Structure 1
Amino acid sequence: MYNVSVPMELTSLNNTSGRTFEQVGCQYGWEYDHTWYTLTAPSQEDWVCDKSLYVSNTFAVSRAGDVIGNLIFGQLGDSIGRRPVFFLTLFMLVFGRCISVFTANIYWLFLVASFLGSMSTSASFQSPLAIGMEVSAPDRRGYLTMLQCLGFTLGISIMPLIGWATGDWIIFMLVTTLPGGVFLFVRKHFPESPRWLASRGKIDRCEKVLLHIAKINGTSLPPDTRAKLKKIASQKEKFYGLASLFSSWRLAKNTVLISATWVISGLTYYTLMLNVSYLSGNPFLNFFWQSMVELPGNIVGKTLSDRYGRRWTQAGTFVALIMGYIILIAVMKDPNMQWLTITMVVFAKFCITITFYIIFLQCMEIYPTCVRQTGTSLASLLGSGLGILGPYIIYLGVSIDVVYPFIILAVMALFGVIFCIFLPETLNQQLPETLADAETFGCDQKFWQTYCNKKDKVANII
């Protein structure tokens, strides 16, 4: 508002003959559009006008928390164990998000709570997946990863429905946060990874966990179990955090390729999801349908990667993604082909779901036990960090040409094909345990081969 002491016509403000008027904040409050949202943090605390930057700051702090959390907790998972990191991050997630609900009126405290709640998001997903992969048979790892990805998809699909039903950000935050606290009370039923325990020389604890698993399965441990555990413990290596990922040429190459593929998939995923805001209609349903397409994507990804191998399934999916983008670029400006445009956007989301599923598998299967969570966190960190480019890619389509974002995504998918085909095949292979194992993992594989046999025999696909 202009700080004017006497009534003036609007035309007078536009013709002031060089005079300037002081601008002050709105004096009479604001009215908000409640079509879809009854109460949000910005509408509750009036983060508008001179406080509109508060919203952007909150988003930036949350992204920073995710990046820093990936960096810290990924390495902690490999140094102190998957189990304690899972419960630590779960507590921070519940605590941070709940505190943020009650501190929106104290903005700096709200930012701290948002930061804490965001730090643990990725690690709370990665730690249980690492444990599950490390206790599974080679032919069951794909199935286990599919289950966790399906759980994630169901979560993000139900989330907009909860938001639509409540319309209140406080109720929404509590309803989607408090159920996670239940797992804090079942710690004794959540085992540590026996592979990690063995790699750190904790033989007694490892044997105890294995005995518990054998009891649940109605079996018994082989007589030479302890001797094998001692042999594994004798190969214990020093842990240097992120530096360990570049301790050999082959491991460094795999780290770079996995991280690059994750960045491509992550940036594409974020760009497609952010594009929901530019669609007309109910924003909650738009988000819901885009999320639901991930359910068949994860199932198809598991089926194909278990049949044709991880890297060839991923390469084929990137090729299919490129073909979808070409069709999109050709028909986007034709109003009569709107149905095909929407179909291709959904198809692109379907394809990128498959690539994401396979990347999770490859991270867990290529990295050795001593740096498995560190490597996964590094790739996730880079993907999340560069995900901030997503809004700018969309902006190119809004401000310049609607096809520009899909041209960029098509070029990125082409690089995805190149990166993924030079990764080793991991289907039905034993997980590498040490850095020495990672240095030789896949070196005896031929380029045009995939490991499809449960007995680890090579089956040529050409």
Structure 2
Amino acid sequence: MVESVLSVGLELTDVKHRTVINCCACCSTAAGVMLAGLVSWALPNWKYSVSFAALSCFALFFFFRWFPESPRWLACRGREQEALAVVRRIAATNGSTVPPFALQVIQTVGKSKTDRRGFLSIFSSFNLVRNTTVLVIASSVHLLAMYSLVIAVSRLSANPFLGIVAQGLAKLPGHFMVNYFAARFGRRWSSVGSALLAALASLLIFCLLTEHIEGAAIVMATMLMQFSTVAGIGMVNLQSIELHPTCLRQIAACVEFAVAGISMSSLPYLVLMDDKRIPFAILCALELMVAFSVSFLPESALQRLPETLRDVAVFGRGQPYWSWKPKPALQYATG
């Protein structure tokens, strides 16, 4: 549900404001984690706490009427007039008008069937397969690390409810870090830095447990790790949305989270080991692998993003590996 809302929200946002929208949307998850800890503390009976979470989901139905559908998706489904209505609504919000040829463009998009091949579209080019594979690995490792901390909090903290609240609090600066560094230094190296920081935090927890140091030091270390993993997953989500064209965005997100869900089935076996240090040694190694892998993803900041499978097959070619601050592509700069 979170991925679907974020995907459509970023489709309706221009390139310059995608990081801001991503930050605002993801900060709600941090608030939800903190609320989950406080509600579970106030309602220790699991039936009441789960019922509260279920009832909270019904509040979403009151906001659907304000959330527009993706115009490109509507056009691809033959609903051109609805797509045009959404485009006009966006133009009115931005204080502009829709050009007279907008309907013709929408009809052209709707008639195009070359990009509608479903799941098999992922294998349409080596570039797309490579990017998707790297993003699948990064999502799986970051989510595994994130939820490992949630499960391990009962073994590392005297008060597990406050431990979860502290981890939720650490998510907020993580999302703001994604917004700042992704906009200033680009997506690629910011994603690498997040994974390296998560590996360093895992190593720190491993050392603290080795020296039998607990209490506030462990809580601060878990907050640092939660901060870095949240920044990492936020960056990977942003890269996934930008590196996949609209026709493949939701399919790629489903593949990433499906594989991540399978990997998270190992959570109890990983976290609940007799030796509490081993899980963090494993997570440290996995985060280092992610840092190395995501460094080969193309930079998508300030670039004209791929719209078709043909675009994504060549996207990122010619970009130097040892580049720092992203520079606008010629097409982006000239509009």
TM-score (norm 2): 0.90
Q: Which has the higher mean CA deviation after the structures are superposed, 265-274 or 132-141?
A: 265-274
Query: What does residue 314 of structure 1 align with?
Result: 191
Structure showing greater relative contact order (alpha-carbon pairs closer than 8 Å, 6 or more residues apart): 2
2: CA distance between counterparts of 1:447 and 1:431? Answer: 19
2: CA distance between counterparts of 1:308 and 1:457? Answer: 18
Q: Residues 90-144 of structure 1, C-alpha deviation per residue, up to 9 Å, x if partnerless?
A: xxxxxxxxxxxxxxxxxxxxxxxxxxxxxxxxxx212221111111010111111
Work out whether residues 134 and 293 of structure 2, in 8 Å CA contact, stay in contact via their aligned partners in 1.
yes
Give unmatched runs, 5+ long, in structure 1. Answer: 1-123
Aligned with residue 295 of structure 2, among 421, 437, 444? 421
Matched, 1:448 2:322: yes
Aligned with residue 252 of structure 1, among 115, 126, 129? 129
Aligned with residue 395 of structure 1, among 257, 272, 281? 272
Work out whether residues 72 and 109 of structure 2, in 8 Å CA contact, stay in contact via their aligned partners in 1.
no
Work out whether residues 271 and 390 of structure 1, in 8 Å CA contact, stay in contact via their aligned partners in 2.
yes
Q: Residues 257-289 of structure 1, C-alpha deviation per residue, up to 9 Å, x if partnerless?
A: 110111111111121111112134332212111
Q: Which has the higher mean CA deviation after the structures are superposed, 407-416 or 280-289?
A: 280-289
1: CA distance between counterparts of 2:210 and 2:63? Answer: 54
Q: Cα distance, 1:146 vs. partner?
A: 1.0
Check 1:206–1:254 CA distance in 2 against 1; reply closer, same or farther (3 A cut): same
2: CA distance between counterparts of 1:337 and 1:280? Answer: 8
**Structure with higher helix content:** 2
Matched letter for residue 312 of structure 2 = A
Aligned with residue 229 of structure 1, among 83, 106, 111? 106
Query: What does residue 104 of structure 1 align with?
Result: none
Work out whether residues 156 and 291 of structure 1, in 8 Å CA contact, stay in contact via their aligned partners in 2.
yes
Matched, 1:384 2:281: no
Q: Cα distance, 1:435 vs. partner?
A: 1.5
Q: After superposition, where does 1:19-418 map in structure 2 within 5 Å?
A: 124-237=1-114, 239-335=116-212, 339-396=216-273, 399=274, 401-418=275-292
Q: Cα distance, 1:378 vs. partner?
A: 0.8
**RMSD over equivalenced CA pairs, Å:** 2.3
Check 1:336–1:245 CA distance in 2 against 1; reply closer, same or farther (3 A cut): closer
Work out whether residues 158 and 215 of structure 2, in 8 Å CA contact, stay in contact via their aligned partners in 1.
no
2: CA distance between counterparts of 1:332 and 1:182? Answer: 42
Q: Residues 343-369 of structure 1, C-alpha deviation per residue, up to 9 Å, x if partnerless?
A: 333211111111011011011111111
1: CA distance between counterparts of 2:46 and 2:301? Answer: 43
Matched letter for residue 297 of structure 2 = L
Give unmatched runs, 5+ long, in structure 2. Answer: none
Work out whether residues 157 and 219 of structure 2, in 8 Å CA contact, stay in contact via their aligned partners in 1.
no
2: CA distance between counterparts of 1:201 and 1:447? Answer: 41
Q: Secondary structure at the match of 2:289?
A: helix
Q: Cα distance, 1:224 vs. partner?
A: 3.2
Query: What does residue 52 of structure 1 align with?
Result: none
Q: Residues 297-339 of structure 1, C-alpha deviation per residue, up to 9 Å, x if partnerless?
A: 1111211111111110111222223333333333432245765
Check 1:451–1:220 CA distance in 2 against 1; reply closer, same or farther (3 A cut): farther
Q: Percent same amino acid at aligned positions?
A: 28
Work out whether residues 157 and 292 of structure 1, in 8 Å CA contact, stay in contact via their aligned partners in 2.
yes
Check 1:417–1:223 CA distance in 2 against 1; reply closer, same or farther (3 A cut): same
2: CA distance between counterparts of 1:160 and 1:320? Answer: 25
2: CA distance between counterparts of 1:257 and 1:421? Answer: 10
Check 1:212–1:324 CA distance in 2 against 1; reply closer, same or farther (3 A cut): closer
